[in-house]
Every structure is written in structure tokens, then in C-alpha cells.
Structure 1
Amino acid sequence: MPDRDTKATVRNITDLARLAGVSPGTVSRALAGKSLVNTQTREKIQRLAREHGFRPNQMASGLRRQKTGVIGVVIPLGHDSRQQISDSFFMTLLGFLADELTRHGYDLMLRRVVPETDADWLDRFIGSGMIDGVIVIGQSDQFDRIEEVADGYTPMVVWGNHAEGQRHCVVGSDNRLGGRLAAERLIAAGARRIAFLGDTTAIEFAARLAGAQDVAARMGLPPVLALPTHLSPDRASEEIAGHLAAHAGEIDGIFAATDTLAALCLTELRRQEIAVPDTVRLVGFDDLPIARQTVPPLTTVRQDIAAGARGLVDLLLRRLAGETTESLVLPPELVVRETA
């Protein structure tokens, strides 16, 4: 008995998934030869793909022929489902991306996804037929999912952390180096017991903490104290207050994974009447506009978000044209102000 309608037109991965009666993610993995898909299902999908002349990279070639003039931008929030895309970092990067895409004649389609409730978030987007390519902002805890999709879909570039040997093309800062710069500054300002605010299930944050740990170990200081902190403002403020109360008098330097967390921390330090930088030194990460507006102004590690946006668009357009591109790792820069 034939599988459903074998005469149906298969234009993209979603059509093939519908025909096979499975999810787009299963199709993507099956066409990439992943062992996660059982043999029977994998062979069925591959047979249907052959019957309809569908190849693993047909998604990309089909989209290039259609030329929708739209680039998809997706923000996966696997590590913190309550984080808002109104977060200052997201809005800053999105602004630069919109400017750059417009300059090249493209519109932007934005999606915020929570992978916990949408396992096929990336497959469905790229297989929708509505976009020419996709930019993923942040790897969150979705590194493996992005890697799997990269096996069969080339017009994709990711803002995030670069790891040796990874298959997906990424643009981002050298986060480990940034973490070293932050810790070195805290120590130079007199800190000897450093804490880190952030959720290290996010790959970029884990790299920043690792860089700070490198410096603490090299200087013979105690390991950096990791204090798990979410990025959603309501949770972060409460968590920071709890961290400071629990470690009162114990820590004299704080490295916040983002400027947003650093600003919330500064507010709580003031509320608890802890002097900055006399008692506690504080360093953020990003150098967002808020870093210059806090009282006192925030010492931070700058990542060139504007250059990153240009790099994301440039690499994506080159991949749409059929090029194979390398990842782009940007150097971070320490910006010394008054909190450390």
C-alpha cells in the first residue's frame, strides 16, 4: 500500500515530513543519516525523498529560487523561557541586523521560540518556504539541534560561541577571552574572591565563566563562585538579592554575564548599602548603552555588536550565493569605568 499521497508535490522538508507522517526534525535527521532515527523510519523517508527527487540541500536551493526577500531571525530560549526579546542585548543586535538587511534589500521575520515546547522549532522555520535564509541569535542550550540542521541546510548563520570542529557557521565574540579580561580587571582593582552571575547552560556564558576561572587559577586565587542567575528581570532581581545576602562579606568582586545583570546587581548592591567599588568591584559584559548610564558607570567587556551584525548578514548572503564560509570570531575589549 503506498505511503499516503505519493504523487504529492514535495517542495520542502515540511512537505516531505507530512508525506512520511513524521516531524520535520525527524526528516532532517533521517536525511543526514543520523542514528537517532530508527532504521525503518530512516529508510522510509529516504525512499520517499528519492521518489520525489528531494535532496537534503533542496530546502536551500528551493528557497534561493523562490527569493522571498525575507531573512528569518530566530531567538531560541532553551535556557531561560521567561527571558524577553525586549532585553537590551537583543534589541541592540536586532536594530543593527534590520539596518544591514534593509541595506541589502531584505525584510526581517522575527520569531521567539521555547524549544522545550517546540522541539522542531528550527526545522519548521527553515522548511516553511517563507524565508530565504535564517539567522539564529544565541545557541542557548540548543547546540546539538543547530548542528543537526546545519548538516542539510546551508543558508544559516548563528550568533554565538565558536567551538573547534563545529559544523554550523557562527559569528560572535571570543567569550573565553572576554571572561579573562573581566577577571583580570577585577583582580587589578583589588578583588580576591570573585563570583559570576549567569546561567551557564547558555554556551556563551559558560565560556565567559571558563575564562574567568582560567585567570583565578593562574593567579592562585579561589575558583570563581558560580551563582546561577536567570536573565528574565523578575527572576534575576530576586536571585541576585538572594546571592548577595547568602554571600555577604564573602565576595569582593562580581563578574556579571551581561550588562543587564550587572545593572540589576548594582541596584541591589545599593539597596543593601554595599559600596561599589570600595567593597565590591563589578564588571559586566556587552557594553550596551546602559553601561554608561548606571551610577557609577559600569566597567564592562565590549563586544562589537554592530560589526557582528554586519558579519552575520555578509556570511549569510555569501552562503545564499553558494559559498562555504568560515566562522567569524570577534575580539572583545575591556572598557574601564568606575565600578572596577
Structure 2
Amino acid sequence: MNDGRAPGKIRNIAELARMAGVSAGTVSRALADKSLVNKETRERIQALAREHGFRPNQMARRLRTQKTGVIGVVIPLGHERRQHISDPFFMTLFGYLADELTESGHDLMLSRVIPGDDEWLDRIVDSGMLDGALVIGQSNQTEAIERVAQHYRPLVIWGSHRDGQAQCTVGVDNFAGGRLAAERLVARGAKRLAFFGDTNGPEIAERLAGAQAVADAAGLSLRAFPTHLASDEMASQIAGHLADLGGAIEGIVCASDIIAMSTIRLLHERGMAVPDQVAVTGFDDLPLASRMVPQLTTVRQDIAAGARAMVDALRRRIDGEDAPSTVMVPELIVRESA
């Protein structure tokens, strides 16, 4: 009777086991490449499976192992609701995370979340769809993330570390990064300083605190201007900040490379030369930073290394280890804008 299957196609592990002359358990272990089965037998069984077009039932395997093979990558947009996944920082970090996860055999589920209550992360991690979750940024959701981290271990956050917290974070020392940016401007002779960035999230608040510490130590003033990371609001806000400042500004610390790039463009439109009249620094060192004119002086956070650290910490936590947070050292990258 022809049931529609290709000739010789194997339907299940039992058929493959009969063909190979071994037990079903040996076939299962061989297909999983377990060293419990000797190399010659493993290779023979795997070759038979390829020859007869047999692919193990992934759903059955997941039921046996109690693992889905899926990692959630979550972007919470609490205070930046109009920010998009296409933001260059998100895409750069997500690209590195995707490379690391797919190379280790995981699938990804990407979620852009606008929190409407304190249980948005609970719903994600309790869905039964994930082996673990990576969260890109803390936004203004630190308390919600911290509460979930106290009971859900396979969770790693890109963000700021604070002593005593339950959440495992990977990120740069933002206070030190803010210091580096402001110190560069002061070293150039800038005395009238401004900071552009939205401090509702802890990362940018710490960057401002670092810059403020430098200004205070030098006896200088630093005016902080809330600036959205959402691209469709950023330009008009920065234009308003520059109008408020008039010509009374010599150095601007920007909380991100994208803010810095928009600032430089708008300064150019106002006829103000960068860096001769106004020096500008960014934060991130995205690939775009070295491709603009003038090239951007910025604080580098090693996004590729951070992605590797996030995935490594998540793997360890999935395996039951208590991987600690990672705080990376920022680096000032001096280019033309400051």
C-alpha cells in the first residue's frame, strides 16, 4: 500500500533502531551526538538517518528534556514608548546576541514591550515558551525586572549594576563613561557645558552623574536637557535645546551616539562649527560613529563582548549556576568632533 511516503523513508526512531541493529535508546543518544555511544556507531546511525531522510521529532525531544530551545530577547520601552527596534543600538546588540545564540543551537523570540502594568515580564517568563530571557535595557522598569529576577534565574539584563540586586546585568560603568566624556570636553577648554539625554532610565542617569561630577570638580556649570531616544522626537527637541542655549555653549555631552549625530547635524544647520565652536561627544561607539563627518568622539562600550557575556551568563544560569553581573570598563574614542 502506498501511503505517500518516499521509498525508504524512516518514520521514527524505532524503525531506525531496527535498521541499525541497536536499541531505540542508542539511536536517540547517537542522534544527540552523546559520547555514551562509541564514535563508529554514532557515525553509522547518523549516516543512516541522513540516507533515509529521518529527522527526530523536535517536539518530542523538547518534551523529554523539558526545554524549548528558545531564548526570548525582550526590549522594554517604558519611558521611550516611541522608540523603535530599528534603533541602531538595539539592532547592533541584537545582531551580536543572535549570532551567539544561533551558534549554540537556540531559536530566538523577539519581543518589543510597552509595559502597561508591573507583570509584563512575568507573563513572558511564565509563558512556558522559553528556556531563558535576555532583556535589552532597563528603561524605567528596574523594579519590575528586579522582582522577577528574584525567582526566575535564567534571566540576564543589559543595563546598570547596583550592589545587592538580584538581577544579573551586563553593561558598562556608565558613571565612569560620563566622566570620560566630560573630561575630554574640559581638557579642550570648554567651560560652558550641556548634557542631552533622558535620565528616566538608570544608565543615562549615571552618565549624567559622571559628567556632573567632572563639572563640579572643575567649578563649571552643566545644564541637563531631557532628550528622547525616539528618532521622530529627537531632532525637534535638540533644536529647542540649541535655541535655548543660543551661542552660550562650548561642549555637549550626549547620552548616545544617535543623539550626538543629530546634535552635530543641527549645529551645522545653525552655522556652528564642530568642534571649533562646539565640541560634541557621544556614547556607544556604534559603527556609524566613524563614518560620519566629522567623525564622532564617543565613549565605547564593547557591545560584541557584552553580547558574549550575556549569552554566557544565561547558559550558566540555565544550567543552574549563579552567574554574576559583568561591569565593563568604558573607553574614550577620540575622533574629530571633540
In which range does the TM-score fall when normalised by the shorter chain?
0.7 to 0.9
Identity across aligned pairs (percent)? 60
Contiguous gaps of at least 5 residues in structure 1: 1-61
Amino acid at match of 2:309: G
- Give CA-to-partner distance per residue, 1:25-75, whole Å, 9 cap, x none: xxxxxxxxxxxxxxxxxxxxxxxxxxxxxxxxxxxxx99952111100100
Taking the aligned partners of 2:204 and 2:268, their CA distance within structure 1 comes to 25
Mapping of residues 248-287 of structure 1, within 5 Å: 248-287=246-285
User: In the alignment, which residue of structure 2 is the partner of 1:201?
Assistant: 200
User: In the alignment, which residue of structure 2 is the partner of 1:103?
Assistant: 103
Q: What value does the CA root-mean-square deviation take over the aligned residues?
A: 1.4
User: In the alignment, which residue of structure 2 is the partner of 1:114?
Assistant: 114
- Give CA-to-partner distance per residue, 1:151-201, whole Å, 9 cap, x none: 111000000011121110000000000000000001111211111111000
Distance 1:230 1:64, change over 3 A: farther
Quote the offset at 1:119 in angstroms: 3.6
User: In the alignment, which residue of structure 2 is the partner of 1:34?
Assistant: none
Quote the offset at 1:107 in angstroms: 1.1
Quote the offset at 1:251 in angstroms: 1.5
Mapping of residues 212-223 of structure 1, within 5 Å: 212-222=211-221
Mapping of residues 280-299 of structure 1, within 5 Å: 280-299=278-297
SS of the residue corresponding to residue 308 of structure 2 reads: helix
Distance 1:274 1:126, change over 3 A: same
- Give CA-to-partner distance per residue, 1:219-257, whole Å, 9 cap, x none: 1212x2110000111100000000001111122110110
Taking the aligned partners of 2:65 and 2:126, their CA distance within structure 1 comes to 14
SS of the residue corresponding to residue 264 of structure 2 reads: helix
SS of the residue corresponding to residue 337 of structure 1 reads: coil
Taking the aligned partners of 2:63 and 2:319, their CA distance within structure 1 comes to 12
Equivalences, count: 277
Taking the aligned partners of 1:189 and 1:214, their CA distance within structure 2 comes to 17
User: In the alignment, which residue of structure 1 is the partner of 2:30?
Assistant: none
Mapping of residues 1-340 of structure 1, within 5 Å: 65-115=65-115, 117-222=116-221, 224-340=222-338
SS of the residue corresponding to residue 163 of structure 2 reads: coil
- Give CA-to-partner distance per residue, 1:117-174, whole Å, 9 cap, x none: 3542101110111110000100000010011101111000000011121110000000
User: In the alignment, which residue of structure 2 is the partner of 1:29?
Assistant: none
SS of the residue corresponding to residue 71 of structure 1 reads: strand
SS of the residue corresponding to residue 144 of structure 2 reads: helix
Taking the aligned partners of 1:212 and 1:204, their CA distance within structure 2 comes to 13
Distance 1:293 1:63, change over 3 A: farther
Taking the aligned partners of 1:199 and 1:321, their CA distance within structure 2 comes to 37
Amino acid at match of 1:121: W
Taking the aligned partners of 2:113 and 2:64, their CA distance within structure 1 comes to 25
Taking the aligned partners of 1:125 and 1:64, their CA distance within structure 2 comes to 22
User: Are 1:72 and 1:131, in contact at CA under 8 Å, matched by a contact in 2?
Assistant: yes
Taking the aligned partners of 2:309 and 2:235, their CA distance within structure 1 comes to 34
Taking the aligned partners of 1:122 and 1:336, their CA distance within structure 2 comes to 39
Quote the offset at 1:79 in angstroms: 1.1
SS of the residue corresponding to residue 325 of structure 1 reads: coil
Taking the aligned partners of 2:232 and 2:318, their CA distance within structure 1 comes to 40
TM-score, length basis structure 2: 0.80
SS of the residue corresponding to residue 279 of structure 1 reads: coil
TM-score, length basis structure 1: 0.80
Amino acid at match of 1:210: A
User: Are 1:64 and 1:320, in contact at CA under 8 Å, matched by a contact in 2?
Assistant: no
